Amino acid sequence: MDKIDFEKRIQQLLPYLRTAGDQVIQMREESNFKVMQKPDDSPVSNADILANSYFIDVLEQYYPGEDLVGEESVSKEYTAGAERLWFIDPIDGTRQFVSGDDNFFILIGFCLNGIPSMGLCYKPFTGLLVAGSVDTGVWSIDRDNRKSQLTAPLWPVGTDGSPSIVLKRPDPELKQTLFDELGVKRHPYIGEQVDMLGPLFGLSNGYASYRETAYWDLCAPAAIMHSAGYEILRQSDGSIYPFNDGSIKAEFYYSLPPNTPDEVKKLLCSKVMSF
């Protein structure tokens, strides 16, 4: 296949993100807005479903033959080992969306040979897009299409000089050991932005999740942080955790600065894998 022009792909998809964002906000404000429950008791709205179909159609039009997985698609199967693979979360933060909160996002992530290589995180309420690829680095693009390059800090950086990371469902003992022995604080969840992207805005220094998480939630922010130079979870052989292994969920995941001390990574991984 031809070499991928990631910058072109970002520019192609931006107007569709804006259109979809405006449409889901309008749907929420209209009387025909409907909320349903999934089998796992999580909410889903007709806006989620329509936005999912919208992005599937757009991606099939521009990138025919590439594998697609949407959170609200009936089938979530894809070709194991797929060279080019998309993951779509049409509304990340559905609970916030249906409750009237404006902290929800549209996530589109792309994997090349299993590695998250391009990510788009769009916040409809503010019109801010955070976009990153392995070729372009990471940028924010506001509603007026003004671009600003984003960089992520190295370890450790924090408001009081101590590193802090977002931890999803950590073992209480692990959380205490991180602080007592390594001086690493647990950062509060970040409502105004996707948690993994916190370092780009000076809000945290990293991210680790012990909660089973779907690839459509992880792929876009993982691609963005990978593009910013962060280390996204590596396996014991040094390879990046693959997103094209045929499954759709990760039991554990982290995103950390490249100079994070080994003892921090080893402790984070100790509950789930050998490092």
The number of C-alpha atoms within 13 Å of 42 and in the hemisphere containing its C-beta is 12
Residue 30's pLDDT band (cuts 50, 70, 90): confident
Could you read off the pLDDT of 71-120 as tens digits, one per residue? 999 999 999 999 999 999 999 999 999 999 999 999 999 999 999 999 99
Q: Give the whole-angstrom CA distance, residue 117 versus residue 134.
A: 6
Q: Return left, alpha or beta for 137; rule: phi > 0 is left, psi -120 to 50 is alpha, else beta.
A: left
Beta bridge partners of residue 123, listed in sequence order = 128
Mean pLDDT of 210-218: 95
Contacts of 244 (CB under 8 A, 6+ apart): 78, 79, 80, 81, 82, 83, 85, 111, 113, 114
Q: Which residues neighbour 230 within 8 Å (Cβ) at sequence distance 6 or greater?
A: 152, 199, 206, 255, 256, 257, 258
pLDDT at 274: 40
CATH number for the domain running over 6-150: 3.30.540.10
pLDDT of residue 275: 36
For residues 24-45, average pLDDT: 90
Nearest Cα residue to 77 out of 88, 65, 66, 69:
69
Which of 77, 63, 61, 52 is CA-nearest to residue 244? 77
| pLDDT at res. 260 | 93
Q: Which residue has the tokens 């994997």?
A: 111
> What pLDDT, on a 0 to 100 scale, did the predictor assign at position 161?
65
Residues 134-187 pLDDT 10s? 999 999 999 999 999 999 999 974 455 689 999 999 888 999 999 999 999 999
Judge whether 258 and 265 are in contact, CB under 8 Å: no
Distance CA 163, CA 182 (A): 9
> How far is residue 22 from each of residues 87, 142, 144, 161, 187, measured CA to CA in Å?
21, 14, 15, 40, 31
Give the CB-side neighbour count of residue 73, counting CA atoms within 13 A: 20
- Show me where the domains of the chain are located: 6-150, 164-269
Length of the chain: 275
Tell me the per-residue pLDDT of 88-100, one tens digit each, with 9 for 90 and over.
999 999 999 999 9
With tokens 């991210």, the residue in question is 207
Alpha-carbon torsion, ordered 207, 148, 11, 27, to 10 deg: 70
Give the SS3 label for residue 231. strand
Strand ranges of the sheet holding 207-209, from the earlier edge strand across to the other edge: 185-187, 164-168, 207-209, 253-256, 231-232
What pLDDT sits at residue 27? Answer: 94
Domain 164-269 has CATH 3.40.190.80: yes
